[in-house]
Amino acid sequence: MSSMPATILDTIGNTPLLALRTIVPTNGARILLKLEARNPTGSMKDRMALAMIEAPEADGRLKPGGAVVEYTGGSTGVSLALVCAVKGHPLHLVTSDAFSREKLDHMRLLGARLTLVPSENGKQTEKLTRDMIAEAHRIARELGAYITAQMENTDQLAAYTRLADEIWEQTGGRIDAFVQSVGTAAALRGTSEALRQYDRKIRCIAVEPAESAVLSGGPSGAHKIDGIGAGYVVPLWHDGIADEIERVSTEEARAMAFRLAAEEGLFCGTSTGANVTAALRLAARLGPDATIVTIMCDTGMKYLKTFSQAQDL
């Protein structure tokens, strides 16, 4: 008989791996989706938020009851709000009207205090990212608080080693490629490094918004794929992380998210739509025997109002 979790934080991770059955490559290759929407807040960011708090707690950088500050497009903020609520850390988040209202509401309901930085017409841009970061650092200095600073925080990489271990175990070591969209770059970096420890031949593919494809040498631009595409080359990124970089547009990502809901019953966000779009393209190149793993980053419930407006429901 399994033991009962002590807190909600003990239910983070160990998410299912599911083979897509309708939205599949024409050549017979398999695409497996890691259902990170099964984490407590409905997002893979629960893993990294826990790691970013537990490491400084362990070494004394974050004292019991100490305040925490972060800048966030939404999911990281919600996940940190959950972790800080359970652990008793006051949390101040810097975010923006560019991100889904559902995420902002969720952060507040979990007890976080929010500062909103205005965007240009609801779009994510390099300027917005940098403005949010600057404001978060200012608040942390003013409060004397611990800033998790997700864009440069290496404590979170341990969370993605665990994710890779789960993927390896669940596939029985039968995996040819891993595909993941890039926000801070920690998920792709941590997971790919750990997967390559198992098998150097596993190909690792980065996904970025076509409108702001800075990792692959394009100009910085505005897009609406929540949680990815900071608009500049982020500190945790280095060229050895990915074997290839795939560009996916906001329109393609949103269309695939809607298809996953209607054809697979998987209600997800646009970053997942981008992941699956890129995985399908990769499958066409790798051939019929390939097994490709990608991530269902979060639940579409985080975007319900946004999606409804897009669909004119």
Read off the pLDDT of residues 108-117 as tens digits, 9 standing for 90 and up: 999 999 999 9
Residue 1 confidence (pLDDT) above 60? no
- Provide mean pLDDT across the span 231-238: 95
- Provide mean pLDDT across the span 50-55: 98
Q: Residue 116 corresponds to which tokens in the numbers above?
A: 């909103």
Residue 120 confidence (pLDDT) above 90? no
- 256, containing H or E segment: helix 250-264
Q: How far is CA 151 from CA 53, 57, 155, 188, 274, in A?
A: 15, 19, 11, 13, 21
Alpha-carbon distance of 205 to 294, in angstroms, equals: 10
Active site residues: 45, 271
The class of domain 45-147 in CATH terms is: alpha beta
At 313, the pLDDT band (50, 70, 90 cuts) reads very low
Task: Map out the domains of the chain as residue ranges.
Answer: 8-37+158-311, 45-147
Fold equal for 8-37+158-311 and 45-147: yes
**pLDDT the model gives residue 24:** 97
Residue 135 confidence (pLDDT) above 50? yes
At 99, the pLDDT band (50, 70, 90 cuts) reads confident
For residue 209, the cross-strand partners are 248
- Provide mean pLDDT across the span 144-161: 97
Q: Mean pLDDT lowest for which of 32-36, 70-74, 134-138? A: 70-74
Alpha-carbon distance of 292 to 204, in angstroms, equals: 10
Average pLDDT, the chain: 95
At 145, the pLDDT band (50, 70, 90 cuts) reads very high
Residue 124 confidence (pLDDT) above 90? no
**pLDDT the model gives residue 62:** 98
Percentage of the chain modeled with pLDDT above 70: 98
Residues 277-293 have pLDDT tens digits of 999 999 999 999 999 99
Q: Answer yes or no: pTM beyond 0.85.
A: yes
Pick the more confident residue, 308 or 44.
44
Residues 289-305 have pLDDT tens digits of 999 999 999 999 988 87
Backbone angles phi, psi at 253, to 5 degrees: -65, -45
CATH number of the domain located at residue range(s) 8-37+158-311 in this protein: 3.40.50.1100
- Provide mean pLDDT across the span 20-30: 97
Q: How far is CA 106 from CA 86, 95, 111, in A?
A: 15, 13, 9
**pLDDT the model gives residue 311:** 63
Residue 216 confidence (pLDDT) above 50? yes
- Provide mean pLDDT across the span 250-275: 97
DSSP code of residue 302: G
